[in-house]
């Protein structure tokens, strides 16, 4: 049976809660994506179990045997993506920096979710840094992936308030709830409105 849904592959490294949100969204009949493959660089990533339980093909492509050869690791990923027929790739907690090899191969077709309101707080430990900076509004961003980390075009953002008694954990939890809403919503827009217009980008405010 042919499907009008776009084949989308997910790259994960760990818990996989965003991958789960995308898998569940894609299980809906009217969602424009079908998840064709979940790849993890980490053999013990919990997200692999969720994907398998939902009947999604998974593949572990461990980076460690490739040692410092990041491009060779990405070539293995690229082969898997091509074999699965992926047309779009969503990074969902994928914890490795990509080289130009993959970012250029998927330019304009690779999305990432980042736990801050970019361009504020690119990189790691975003909730801790947001608390330290004393911002009153924090959130998450879905953006296109380029060779520069956390820098591609913003496709959607969700904002949450920062409360006076927030801890890293409470703030992370509030942001994560929004991540799970934002990523499927942005992917839906992206696939139905390609190329995405700036005015059409998603904005969620908790």
Among 26, 103, 110, 115, binds ligand GRF (CB under 6 A): 115
Min CB(151)–ligand GRF separation in Å: 14
Ramachandran quadrant class, 31 (left: phi over 0; alpha: psi -120 to 50; beta: rest): beta
Spell out, one character per residue from 50 to 89, where the chain touches ligand GRF: x when CB under 6 A holds, - when not.
----------------------------------------
- Six-digit token string for 133: 């900076």
Give the helix/strand (H/E) hosting 7. Answer: strand 6-12
Give catalytic status of residue 114 as yes or no.
Answer: yes
Which residue number has the CB closest to ligand GRF? 93
Question: What 8-state DSSP symbol labels residue 199?
Answer: T
Asked if 14 is part of the footprint of ligand GRF (rule: CB under 6 A), the reply reads yes
Say whether residue 40 binds ligand GRF (CB under 6 A). Answer: no
| 179 near ligand GRF (CB under 6 A) | yes
Q: Does 17 bind ligand GRF (CB under 6 A)?
A: yes
Taking the C-alpha atoms of residue 77 and residue 41, their distance in angstroms, rounded to an integer, is: 9
- 9: burial class by Cβ within 10 Å (0-12, 13-18, 19+)? buried
CB atoms near residue 192 (< 10 Å): 12
Q: Is 68 left (phi over 0), alpha (psi -120 to 50) or beta?
A: alpha
The active-site residue out of 114, 127, 138, 189 is: 114
What are the angstrom distances between the C-alpha of 62 and each of 26, 101, 144, 148, 166? 26, 17, 24, 23, 36
Q: Is there binding between residue 9 and ligand GRF (CB under 6 A)?
A: no
- Nearest CB to ligand GRF, comparing residues 75 and 128: 128
Nearer to ligand GRF by C-beta: 114 or 189? 114
CB 91 within 8 A of CB 13: no
- Contact window for ligand GRF (CB under 6 A) among 51-59, 73-81, 100-108, 109-117: 109-117
Which of 38, 76, 113, 142 binds ligand GRF (CB under 6 A)? It is: 113
Q: Tell me which residues touch ligand GRF (CB under 6 A).
A: 14-18, 47, 92-93, 113-115, 140, 176, 179
């Amino acid at each position: 049976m042919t499907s009008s849904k776009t084949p989308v592959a997910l790259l994960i490294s760990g818990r996989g809660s965003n991958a789960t949100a995308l898998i569940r969204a894609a299980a809906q009949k009217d969602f424009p994506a079908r998840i064709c493959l979940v790849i993890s660089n980490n053999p013990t990533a919990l997200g692999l179990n969720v994907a398998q339980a939902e009947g999604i093909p998974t593949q572990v492509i461990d980076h460690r045997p490739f040692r410092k050869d990041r491009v060779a690791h990405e070539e293995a990923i690229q082969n898997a993506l091509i074999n699965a027929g992926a047309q779009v790739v969503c990074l969902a907690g994928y914890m490795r920096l990509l080289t130009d090899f993959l970012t250029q191969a998927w330019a304009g077709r690779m999305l990432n979710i980042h736990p801050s309101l970019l361009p504020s707080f690119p990189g790691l430990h975003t909730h801790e840094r947001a608390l330290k900076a004393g911002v009153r509004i924090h959130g998450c961003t879905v953006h296109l992936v380029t060779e520069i980390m956390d820098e591609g075009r913003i496709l959607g953002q969700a904002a949450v308030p920062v409360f006076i008694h927030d801890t890293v954990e409470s703030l992370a939890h509030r942001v994560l709830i929004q991540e799970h809403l934002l990523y499927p919503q942005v992917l839906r827009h992206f696939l139905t409105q390609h190329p995405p217009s700036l005015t059409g980008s998603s904005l969620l405010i908790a």
